[in-house]
Structure 1
Amino acid sequence: MAINLDSLSPAELQSLIKTAEAQMESARKNQVQQVRTRIDALLKGAGLSIDDVYPRRGGKGAKGTKASVAPKYRNPENAAQTWSGRGKRPLWFSAALKKKGVTAESLLIAGSASKSAVAKKVATKATRKVARKAPARKSAKK
């Protein structure tokens, strides 16, 4: 069935396009159904399920599932507000640090991290800063 497209009016061409698109959609659905039937027959013959062949994501240990982290800091004004120390700082944490005499270490929850470990971490950072800022010494030549 050859159609001479040059002889068709714009309205007839539009109608032909819509008919062809509908036919394409029908043929596609029919093709998908035939493939599914063949796959189901293969799986049944092998004694398998689609989940055996293609495991689904979201199971144990899959990406996207995040384990909860124990809180590390607590708001002294509202004990219900805690923060794990990961991600963006909560507003209450930033506001508390602006107060005189309040440090991140003072907001730690007892038992979440030993204060000596935090002190070592702070001391190490300070030592690294001093080492970076120290000017390189030039050897004296005579």
Structure 2
Amino acid sequence: MELSTVDFAELLQLRADVDAEIRRRESEEKAKAAKQVLELIRTHGLDIEDIASKSAKLGSVPATSTRKPVEAKYRHPDDASLSWTGRGRKPLWVVAWLDAGHALEALQIK
């Protein structure tokens, strides 16, 4: 089919038809996959709870996982409450320190 020769209204209808067919096939594929999964569950004597708990143990990351905070690598020499991990944008106090001609290494936490 040469699309450049198709009327605009026909193109719109074609797009609608294609979208509808995609939705229909997607639904079929999902139903087919669900049927296969249920067959595997029955074949191996499992239940949904077994599958859910085992998949969590196989490396899926829970949605509520938290990361350990990164430790600070640099600290202000006069104000210990000001620290920086060395990641991301430099804090203003670090920029001021560097602008004053001091070395970043002088701020390192040892």
TM-score range, shorter chain: 0.5 to 0.7
Flag the structure with larger Rg.
Answer: 1
TM-score by length of 1: 0.47
TM-score by length of 2: 0.57
User: Which consecutive residues of structure 1, in runs of 5 or more, have no partner in the other structure?
Assistant: 1-5, 114-142
**Aligned residue in 2 for 1:69:** 70
Cα displacement (A) at 1:94? 3.4
Summarize the alignment of residues 1-142 of structure 1 with structure 2, pairs less than 5 Å apart. Answer: 13-47=7-41, 52=55, 59=61, 67-99=68-100, 104=104, 106-108=106-108, 112-113=109-110
Identity, in percent, stands at 21
Structure of greater relative contact order (alpha carbons < 8 Å, 6+ residues apart): 2
Cα displacement (A) at 1:85? 3.4
User: Which consecutive residues of structure 2, in runs of 5 or more, have no partner in the other structure?
Assistant: 42-47
Equivalent position SS for 2:37: helix
Structure 1 residues 39 and 73, CA gap change in structure 2 (3 angstroms): same
Q: Distance in 2 between matches of 1:18 and 1:88?
A: 49
**Two-structure CA RMSD over aligned residues (Å):** 3.7
Q: Distance in 2 between matches of 1:73 and 1:90?
A: 11
